[in-house]
Amino acid sequence: MKYHLDTIPVWDAFSEDSECPFCILEHKSEQSYVESHLGGSVMEPDTRIEVNEKGFCPHHNALLYQAQNRLGLALMTHTHSLETMKKMNKKIEELEKAMKNPEKISRLLAKKMSGGESRLQHSIRSFSDWLLSHLNRCTICDKISYTLNRYAYTMIYLWENDSEFRKTMQGSKGLCMSHLPLILNMAAEQLSSRKQTEFLKELLSLQMENMERLEKELHWFTQKFDYKNQDKPWGSSRDALPRILQKFTGKYME
């Protein structure tokens, strides 16, 4: 897939002192998509079609709900519910057919089905799968994922073509474990084998140095609970716990 470069947000995120510039980028793009879905873009036909089809995941429904534009969310949810009911009716029709003839197995189905399930068991399972898949479909998640891919593409491009950026990256604290795979996969896609090796060496040693730093900061945080250390300085350990949790999960602790 081809992405367009978007250098300014990537430079901005890498210029901030953080445990992961992509956590900053994800947070900003999430905020802007939540806002735009309650503002002008709700009325754009493309967005409406996408929202009608996918709706939002539990996390983004909660953010939209907290944003206090109840009418905007109600309008989107209403048309999404019409679309969902149509699909649900079809699924229920399939179930009803299976209920009339619970044991019958078509030759086509027999191929797909595992472990001697009856037709009705198969239909129940496929209905449940469909219900659960609803939780994973999300217009905002998809947009964030596209945007982050674009930033990852930009980061790889800057690393390869801009020596200032490469220096800034080398002086950064690396990435969190949630965003590192995104960058690694993009490097595998975009760089020659020789450059991949060079990139991996730089990035992975940066990652390990910073894990070691965090481990030490967290260790001192736990030592500070010992009364003998009460009067010793915190150093950089005071917020080590939320920072290392972010390093593991890609989520800020509130």
Residue 108 or 132: the one with the smaller Cβ distance to Zn ion is: 132
Q: Which residues bind Zn ion (CB under 5 A)?
A: 20, 22-23, 57, 60, 138, 140-141, 176, 179, 250
CB of 140 to Zn ion, least distance (A): 5
CB of 153 to Zn ion, least distance (A): 16
d(C-alpha 159, C-alpha 165), whole Å: 6
**C-beta of residue 118 within 8 angstroms of C-beta of residue 103:** yes
CB of 207 to Zn ion, least distance (A): 12
**C-beta of residue 32 within 8 angstroms of C-beta of residue 18:** no
**C-beta of residue 178 within 8 angstroms of C-beta of residue 27:** no
d(C-alpha 97, C-alpha 120), whole Å: 9
CB of 244 to Zn ion, least distance (A): 13
d(C-alpha 242, C-alpha 234), whole Å: 15
Q: How far are the Cα atoms of 28, 126, 142 from residue 129, in angstroms, in the given order?
A: 32, 5, 20
Q: How far are the Cα atoms of 28, 55, 181 from residue 245, in angstroms, in the given order?
A: 19, 30, 17
Q: Which amino acid is at 178?
A: S
Q: Where are the alpha helices (DSSP H) in 101-161?
A: 107-112, 119-136, 139-161
Residue 98 or 138: the one with the smaller Cβ distance to Zn ion is: 138
Could you write out the DSSP letters of every residue in 193-236? Answer: HHHHHHHHHHHHHHHHHHHHHHHHHHHHHHHTTSGGGTTS--TT
Residue 138 or 156: the one with the smaller Cβ distance to Zn ion is: 138
Residue 140 or 152: the one with the smaller Cβ distance to Zn ion is: 140
Residue 122 or 143: the one with the smaller Cβ distance to Zn ion is: 143
CB of 24 to Zn ion, least distance (A): 8
Residue 176 or 191: the one with the smaller Cβ distance to Zn ion is: 176
CB of 106 to Zn ion, least distance (A): 36
